Structure 1
Amino acid sequence: MFNNNQNPGILDAPEIRNDYYLNLVDWSSGNVLAVALDNSVYLWSASSGDILQLLQMEQPGDYVSSVSWIKEGNYLAVGTSSAEMQLWDVQQQKQLRNMTSHSARVGSLCWNSYILSSGSRSGHIHHHDVRVAEHHVATLSGHSQEVCGLHWAPDGRHLASGGNDNLVNVWPSAPGESGWVPLQTFTQHQGAVKAAAWCPWQSNELISGHGFAQNQLVIWKYPTMAKVAELKGHIARVLSLTMSPDGATVASAAADETLRLWRCFELDPARRREREKANAAKSSLIHQGIR
């Protein structure tokens, strides 16, 4: 992974896998972008511009299939093609544990406090309590094909899952009387479902980046789904989107082997002042680790 000297809004991402079902980028609360490039994971500090290679898979043919930061930004979960989930302390650049429970690659990951949810090509979703040795604490079976998107609601009460079976399921955070069954299932989609990125302070705006002929990203008004703007620049299909911690910038990874940074949503003044005060009051452990 390299900075593009000709355009600071573009990062070169050689060997990013052209696989729509994987989730290969995630942006931490510490303002660090994790990017999976084939069998390696790189970290890019959006504050300093520094780049660090965190890991490289040891077995030939294995590749990284998903990455996800814990909310606090000090631990990174990594899913692999060999059905493993690795947990890394990024400040120490050290693998803490290796977890197994799936029978196929882990293409999606999402945190809810200390619970790590993982989605597999098998169609199953597993919950893992990373604090204990017997980490696999639940199995959710609501997809007949690969799970390619997971997103916990900010309040931690619901998990949305999207699959290659064109379904979106909404799950509770705890099992009901009938066990783990979806609260809702949406069947209107005509293709595989991956999460779009929502503007965090303006809930009627979202950005999506798949299924468009010119490889553009589109900003929509919800629920009318009126098109607000098109963002063009990629010359191959968009694979993944992730939002910066301040909610103003979206990073898109595409099959043209680039990462592009888009200033999509204007940060409202009150939130900007709050964030500036918070940043002045504390030093990010993640930034220390990268430097």
Structure 2
Amino acid sequence: MQNPFVNNPPSSSPVKRSQVPGGRINKRPTSSATTNMSNSSSSSSLLASPVRRPRSTSSAGSGFADRFIPNRTEMDLNTVSSIRSNPSIPAFKPSNGSDNRLEWERERQAHQTFDIVLKNELFGELLNTDSNSGDTISRIQYSESLERPTTPPSGHRDGGDTDEDEEQTYQNLNSEPPTTPRRNHSSFLHHDSHRPTSNSTKGVSLFSYGSRSQSNRLHSSNLDLGPNATASMMNNQYFQSLSPMRPESQKLLLSPGKKFREIAKVPYRVLDAPSLADDFYYDLIDWSSTDVLAVALGKSIFLSDNTTNDVTHLATSESDFTSLSWVDSGSHLAVGLSSGIVEIYDVLKNKCIRTLSGHVDRVACLSWNNHVLSSGSRDRKILHRDVRAPEPFFEQIDTHSQEVCGLKWNVNENKLASGGNDNMVYVYDGTLRQPMLSMEEHTAAVKAMAWSPHTRGVLATGGGTADKKLKIWNISKAVKLNEVDTGSQLCNMLWSKNTDEIITSHGYSKYNLTLWNYPTLEPMAVLKGHSFRVLHLTLSADGTTVVSGAGDETLRYWKLFDKPKSRGYQDSLITNAFDNLR
């Protein structure tokens, strides 16, 4: 019988054959070799399925050749090398002041703890068999400093295992499921516990656990019956349980970690402040040494006693209050008005005792140096006033070419720093007219300024919207120490008394507070809550609390710092002599 497929052999491709116009099938040309094809084996091969044929099964296990089955050597060199390396924790890079240093440190510690526990649980002493002193955790930490992993030495090991035993263990791991170790009756009598340990077996694999016998400490002769007996019993029960974790890992997780400083991200107190001006050049809150907060709301001034929470009304004026500042003793309050007048109030008598003239425009900033009161105005002048003298002022400084919006005295060093809307910062020696130093690196108005209470001659300045830079200066050496781009307008600034940190308040366009570490200028915390520019900032007398005021007409109390620890100095002849001189 003639083969019906001789003259029309099938195509090897499974796709549909193309058709010619008219509906007829386009036949492929035949050759003489195809015509003479007549045996059944050739026909069956032509009729076979075009799918991919299975692989040859000549070698054992080749059916799983597409899977990666690590062998002993590759497990040691590759896997151990990758796991023993340090965890890939991204480095801390402040991005426009939005990152939090404390949160990054907590995350880094969590990654490090997890990495150590993972290495200990997977490989134990296999990571470093050359170091025999200390526990496994210490050896893991030591091995992280090496460049290449330490391979297990050949021959007999301390734990009684040989290379053949470990090879058999890895073969069992790849081929057979782990078996539960059996217990005899004597193990129950002696309270033996089968658990993973790195002290009895070196180079353990993932599922091969060694067993270690130990007597029950609760029934020993030297039972602790003291006050710590309960804690000892709980620890013994914990470590003698059938936990899948190694004892070293359990101890590491139970041991207290590094304590990080806690900074509350939410203010513990929020007060309504109606008519609190939303003006960049105003400075309307200040905290006295007697723990009284003064706030200027429109044309009125209120005093809030932080001890009793009592609020009293101090003064009312026909003009708006633009600035205020407490004297060091906390008995008198100086206020500046939009008319250019400076008034001094006695808070005990609750009345104005002095009115000082000299400015012809609003008084944007005030600063005290003992009995000397300095004021800066939009009329570009700085006036020094001796409140003991009858004259309204005794010195006038005309250095700035635009409004003076920042003014801070360094009382300990008798230095005055001024910032203006002309982007300039000047430093004066006492009340001299000519500045001893001028800085012109800022590209916007400089209102935020703060002297370091910890380091002599260190000044921090902050620029406005077009600048956004926080700069640190060494006045004695006339050099810039550091700077950082805060990513937002700097409206005000404080230097903490208790810690070497700087707190800044921001306007366009983040409306938050940022705590900076000195001298690295890394953002330790970012405090959010205000919905308008945070223009006003002050620090409590004990240096623990910051009060911020914004155009959203709220005052927020932030607990940021701890009280300084008292220093117990021993009495000596020198200290007693200084006390007598005072």
Normalized against structure 2, the TM-score is what?
Answer: 0.43
Q: Which ranges in structure 1 are unaligned for 5 or more consecutive residues?
A: 1-6, 274-291
Q: How does 1:54-65 map to 2 (within 5 A)?
A: 54-57=314-317, 59=318, 62-65=319-322
1:202 match: 499
Of the three residues 522, 526, 529, the one matched with 1:226 is 522
Cα distance 1:265–1:255, how it changes in 2: closer, same or farther (>3 A)? same
Deviation sequence 1:181-230 (CA, Å, 0-9, x none): 11111222232222310011333x10111245231100112233211110
3-state SS in 1 of match to 2:352? strand
SS in 1 for 2:566: helix
Residue of structure 1 in register with 2:296 after alignment:
36
Alignment of 1:179-258 (within 5 A): 180-193=433-446, 194-195=448-449, 196-203=493-500, 205-211=501-507, 213-258=509-554
Give the structure 1 partner of residue 422 of structure 2. 165
Q: Give the aligned residue type for 1:215.
A: Y
Equivalent position SS for 1:270 = coil
Shift of 1:141: 1.8
User: Could you give the per-residue CA deviations for residues 149-206 of structure 1, whole angstroms, max 9, x where no partner exists?
Assistant: 211113151011111122221111142xxxx111111222232222310011333x10
Q: Distance in 1 between matches of 2:536 and 2:512?
A: 12
1:269, distance to aligned residue in structure 2 (A): 2.2
Once residues 504 and 439 of structure 2 are traced to their aligned partners in structure 1, the CA distance between those partners, rounded to angstroms, is 18
> Secondary structure at 2:422's aligned position in 1?
coil
Flag the structure with larger Rg: 2
**Could you tell me whether the CA contact under 8 Å between 1:112 and 1:156 is conserved in 2?**
no
For 1:35 and 1:115, the matched residues in 2 are separated by 22
Residue pair 2:358, 2:392 contacting (<8 A) in 1 also? no
Q: Point out the structure with the larger helix share.
A: 2
Query: Which one-letter code corresponds to 1:70 in the other structure?
Result: V
Distance 1:156 1:54, change over 3 A: farther
Q: Tell me the distance in 2 between the aligned counterparts of 1:11 and 1:191.
A: 31
Determine helix, strand or coil for the equivalent of 1:127. strand
SS at match of 1:220: strand
162-171 or 243-252, which deviates more:
162-171
1:108-149, Cα deviation, whole Å (9 max, x unpaired): 101101110000011211000111111311112221111112
1:24 corresponds to which residue? Answer: 284
Point out which structure has higher relative CO (alpha carbons under 8 A, 6+ apart).
Answer: 1
**Partner-residue secondary structure (3-state), 2:441:** coil
Once residues 152 and 164 of structure 1 are traced to their aligned partners in structure 2, the CA distance between those partners, rounded to angstroms, is: 19
Amino acid across the alignment from 2:411 = P
Letter in structure 1 aligned against 2:342: M
Counterparts of 2:268 and 2:563, CA distance in 1? 20
SS in 1 for 2:394: strand
- Identical aligned residues as a percent: 43
Give the 5 Å matches for 1:1-291: 9-57=269-317, 59=318, 62-175=319-432, 180-193=433-446, 194-195=448-449, 196-203=493-500, 205-211=501-507, 213-270=509-566
Letter in 1 for 2:365: S
- Find the aligned partners of 1:115 and 1:190 in 2 and give their Cα distance: 31
Between the aligned partners of 2:344 and 2:413, the Cα distance in structure 1 is: 21
Structure 2: unaligned runs, 5 residues or longer: 1-266, 450-492, 569-582
Supply the distance in 2 between the matched residues of 1:55 and 1:143 (Cα, whole angstroms). 32
How far apart are the structure 1 equivalents of 2:296 and 2:515?
A: 25
Letter in 1 for 2:442: H
- Which residue type is aligned with residue 183 of structure 1? M
Superposition CA RMSD, Å? 1.7
TM-score under structure 1 normalisation? 0.85
What is the SS of the residue equivalent to 2:506? Answer: coil
Give the whole-Å Cα distance in 2 for the aligned partners of 1:249 and 1:116.
26
